[in-house]
Structure 1
Amino acid sequence: MLRPSTDDSYRTFDLSQFEKIEFNPQSQSTSLPVIGANTGAVSDSTQLPNTTFIQPVLPQSLSIESAVNMAVQRHPSIAQSIASLSGQNANIDVAKAAYYPQLSGQIRTGDVTSNQRGSQVFAVDATQMVYDFGKVKNSVDIEKTRLSYQQAAVLISIDDIAEQTARAVINTIRYQRLVSIYQAQIKGLQRLYTIAKLRADAGISSLADPVQAQAYLENAQAALILQESNLKQQQEKLRTLLGQDPSRFNWNMPEHLINQSQLYDNPDLQRIPRMISAQAEIALAREQRKQNNLSRYPTLSLVGSLTQAVNGPNPNNGKDDGFDSSISLSASSNFYQGGATGSRDRAASFAEQAARDRLSATYLEINDEMRNYREQIQNTERQILVLKEREKSSALTRELYEEQYKLGKRSILDLLSSEQMFFSAQMERENARFDIFENMIRYIDVTGRNRDVYGLNNIIIQGFEVKP
């Protein structure tokens, strides 16, 4: 049978071969602040107390790249988008089928208004398109453009799962650190409670001192439970994404994100899936407008017909139970459709303009998100510098207050407050550090660099490959 050959190249998306994005922003800011790689925003110079995490960690390290790779290889949302892509590729073969002969068969009765109404004729018709001014080619181009749009949808799915996984890894490490700090705080408050109780039992200080210390201790224990719950939620998120128990792994801190995020470089629009999708919509609207214009032209076809009368005369030659064959040329065209052609042309024109406006709107959204993440990172870096100084001063205050408490010059509330302030500064600094990493992950996602940063280019992802 004559039919189009299946093309599996759709499973490889070469970004370098994609239609260039037709967008020229009128203005683009190039004066951007720069954050140094060796600043306090991402350093881990301050040592935390030597305490254990809530979950036992086996000595098996796992990088953020490995976690992302595991997630994209198994997530069903990516499989769903690839299945839709495969379906769209089949639609290209449907459009190409118009190039090939079209066979049809039918049984017709005679003229029901005459004495031939009891006759029956079996007919087989074959139609081969000869020339159609490019209408079939345009239909194929439309389906290919839809395929590009669906390929962009696959990229969006891959990037979404990559971003979710990376953030889950970062937040898992975040809450492991916070749990460790709270455990150290509880240990310190327990020590202060013991000191206060011994002094109260000896009559050196008020009996209210151990009660106040116990209140601070219980408050810290309640806060620890909250952080343990947050950690568990992130681990369950990772369990869903990876299909494995995340507590088995010792997560590596992704310090390399600082350089690989290219935080202050202008992004390549050709790599951003949302921009690719918007550009594909423009191309689709353009092809549909072209299709409407081509519908005004006729289609020339070669038509062959075989008829066999099975009861009564063959109407083509009048012979009883006769056989007849014919070959003819047919030209068909829709000359007038009540103004539908002109209306479709206007609709296609507006659709193309809407697609171009969507491209502009997408660019503005991306640009706004990029600047927002840059500003958050810059402000958080300044905040970390202050928090590091606060941590140093609170550590010194903590030591001085403890000595003064033993000499009776400070109350237990002063000592407990200094203890709480010291660990609060540590927690705020750690939260700020991980806020920077989380914003970097969001920035990487917005600029379409997930596949570059997490090593997803030139590998097979559930049967789909992306080439940069």
Structure 2
Amino acid sequence: MAIKTQKLKKRGRLMWARTLLGVLIASTVLQGCTGSKKKYVYVSYNKGGVQANQGQSSQSMVSATPSGAASSLQASSLASAAPAGMQAPRAAGSGSGGLRNAVMAALSYSSEVRSAEAALSAAGIDVSIARAGYYPSLTGGAGVGSDGDHDYNVTLSQPIYDWGQTRAEVSGAEASRNATIARARAQREKVMLDAANAYIAVARAREIEKVAQEQLSAYQRIAGLARQRTSAGYGDATEVALAGVHVGEAESTLENARGALRDARSVYASRIGREAPGTTDVPELSSALSSLLRISGGARTQSVNLRQRVDQAPSVVLAQAEAAKANAAISAQKADLFPKLSVEAYVRGDEANEDPNTGVGLRLKGPTFKGLSNVQRVNAARFAYDEATWQVETQRREVTRQVQAYLDQEPTLRARLAILQEQRTKSRELRNLYEEQFKAGTRSLTDLITVQSDLTRIETSLVETRYDLYTLQYEAAGALGMLGSVLNITAPSGNS
């Protein structure tokens, strides 16, 4: 009778353990299938003891998101080039379209952008893996000895309290995902800026080549005037020789300009994946940047708005995400110093026992200490966080420097443009007058060559100044992460 009672008790424990095992497995499956509305049972620790709470998942307890929805969310985050809460200004490139089309072609051609977008598809996987720490874990094993003996075991374990380690790991995985999104956005901005700079470089080289061609034509005309005057008996052979020297110098300058243009076109092809277009019209970004930075307001308003825009720059957002990841690593390393509490249901057996051994209980698992390595890992995580924090400030200062360079130099460059344009008009009038006086014999060839050299220098400076202004504008927009917005270019609506 005692033996029968003992067997009934064992069978009752077995049925109870199997029932609990089935409930926990079903709970695990349901949690994996439900969306963000599932509830968690989590434990908070305070000086009064351990308190269990139940509630809807929130920001601190990250809700599960299906992989497809996560990809859509990441794609929409990447597509929104403009920072949240800010209306993008009118696209600067909507008028000509040449530069905008080149930038869009560069985005399609860039392997770096493709790589960053591929990383977005996998960005949510680590979050799902880290979130699995909240769920029960099922382990099992079986063994067979050389004499035929065998044993087996199945254990289902549900974490109860881990000093916030799982929460820290989820936070770190989320920060890593945010860093991936920010890195993809920063990569897009870099590719767009490189393409814009290549387009501007081609336009600059073409303008310089045009100036060099006009210079050669002018010296050839001057050489022709010198030959006419010499043949008429008003000059000598030295004037023809001097004019020939300057014609040769102009030819050399033109060849250099053509070489620079070929080099610019080669860079353009390598970045954009196709040949440079026949015409290169560079749209101005001054009004768009003024709208972004509210330059028309007072100095105080401009300074505050600049700081806000800098904090939303892709490189700064990326550095902030890396700092958040490093901060979560500190919490995870601290939690690893303490034991973890979990509840377990198990089934064990071997050939010696007819009925398997089943049971449910609590397990307290302590950390493994190897000298002071556990504490040293916490210190190392703190130093990594300090480094990441300073990297945020470094990126913030770099973006501010680039934008401030535009704000400081734009007035000077525009004033210089106005001065050079006036000088060019006067120099052309003076050159025409000198040519007439040279024909009349009242001006020397040296005077004519000097005024032509001055005109070439002014025209070259005019081209360089104008394209320096363009470069500053695009560098500032790219640093702020607004180049895609001002050119009306957004990321694709989905990434697969």
Does the TM-score normalized on the shorter chain lie above 0.5?
yes
Deviates more, 1:386-395 or 1:212-221: 386-395
Residue 258 (structure 1) aligned with residue 286 (structure 2): yes
The amino acid across from 2:398 in the alignment is: E
Residue 326 (structure 1) aligned with residue 358 (structure 2): yes
CA deviation digits over 1:326-361, x for unaligned, max 9? 233342332562444433333333333332222222
The amino acid across from 2:170 in the alignment is: V
Aligned-residue offset at 1:162: 0.8
The amino acid across from 2:483 in the alignment is: N
Residue 10 (structure 1) aligned with residue 39 (structure 2): no
CA deviation digits over 1:432-461, x for unaligned, max 9? 11110111111111222222212234x417
Aligned-residue offset at 1:232: 1.9
For residues 107 and 493 of structure 2, what CA distance do their matches in structure 1 show?
A: 7
For residues 82 and 229 of structure 2, what CA distance do their matches in structure 1 show?
A: 78
In structure 1, the partner of 2:105 is 70
301, 306, 323: which one aligns with 2:343: 301
* Cα gap change, 1:462 to 1:193, in 2 (>3 Å): farther
The amino acid across from 1:81 in the alignment is: A
CA deviation digits over 1:63-97, x for unaligned, max 9? 32222122113311011122333334222222233
* Cα gap change, 1:361 to 1:242, in 2 (>3 Å): closer
Structure 2, unmatched stretches of 5+, are 1-27, 33-63, 86-94, 296-301
For residues 306 and 413 of structure 1, what CA distance do their matches in structure 2 show?
A: 107
In structure 2, the partner of 1:142 is 172
For residues 202 and 431 of structure 2, what CA distance do their matches in structure 1 show?
A: 30
> How many pairs align?
406
Percent identity, please: 19
For residues 329 and 316 of structure 2, what CA distance do their matches in structure 1 show?
A: 20
In structure 2, the partner of 1:45 is none
The amino acid across from 2:119 in the alignment is: S
416, 422, 427: which one aligns with 1:389: 422
TM-score when normalising by structure 1: 0.78
Moved over 6 A (4+): 14-20
SS in 2 for 1:251: coil
For residues 224 and 335 of structure 1, what CA distance do their matches in structure 2 show?
A: 75
For residues 18 and 250 of structure 1, what CA distance do their matches in structure 2 show?
A: 33
437, 453, 469: which one aligns with 1:404: 437
Q: Are the aligned partners of 1:105 and 1:124 in contact in 2 as well (CA < 8 Å)?
A: yes
Q: Are the aligned partners of 2:82 and 2:485 in contact in 1 as well (CA < 8 Å)?
A: no
* Cα gap change, 1:174 to 1:16, in 2 (>3 Å): closer
* Cα gap change, 1:61 to 1:229, in 2 (>3 Å): farther
* Cα gap change, 1:184 to 1:17, in 2 (>3 Å): closer
Q: How large is the RMSD of aligned CA atoms in angstroms?
A: 3.0
160, 166, 188: which one aligns with 2:196: 166
SS in 1 for 2:476: helix
CA deviation digits over 1:385-408, x for unaligned, max 9? 332232233223212321222232
In structure 2, the partner of 1:83 is 118
Residue 280 (structure 1) aligned with residue 331 (structure 2): no
Kindly report which structure 2 residues correspond to 1:35-434, keeping only aligned pairs within 5 A, or say none. Answer: 62-108=97-143, 118-133=147-162, 134-247=164-277, 249-255=278-284, 257-262=285-290, 264=295, 265=302, 266-267=305-306, 268-295=309-336, 296-307=338-349, 309=350, 314=351, 318-319=352-353, 322=354, 324-334=356-366, 337=369, 338-434=371-467
Q: Are the aligned partners of 2:153 and 2:347 in contact in 1 as well (CA < 8 Å)?
A: yes
For residues 119 and 17 of structure 1, what CA distance do their matches in structure 2 show?
A: 69
Aligned-residue offset at 1:122: 4.5
Aligned-residue offset at 1:207: 0.8
More helix by share: 2
The amino acid across from 2:267 in the alignment is: K
CA deviation digits over 1:204-248, x for unaligned, max 9? 21112122112111211111122122222222222223322223x
Residue 436 (structure 1) aligned with residue 456 (structure 2): no
For residues 367 and 10 of structure 1, what CA distance do their matches in structure 2 show?
A: 27
The amino acid across from 1:366 in the alignment is: V
CA deviation digits over 1:398-438, x for unaligned, max 9? 12321222232322122122122212211211111111011
The amino acid across from 1:334 in the alignment is: G
Deviates more, 1:97-106 or 1:445-454: 97-106
Q: Are the aligned partners of 1:289 and 1:348 in contact in 2 as well (CA < 8 Å)?
A: yes
The amino acid across from 2:334 in the alignment is: N
In structure 1, the partner of 2:38 is none
* Cα gap change, 1:375 to 1:200, in 2 (>3 Å): same
In structure 1, the partner of 2:89 is none
Q: Are the aligned partners of 1:103 and 1:125 in contact in 2 as well (CA < 8 Å)?
A: yes
Q: Are the aligned partners of 1:370 and 1:443 in contact in 2 as well (CA < 8 Å)?
A: yes
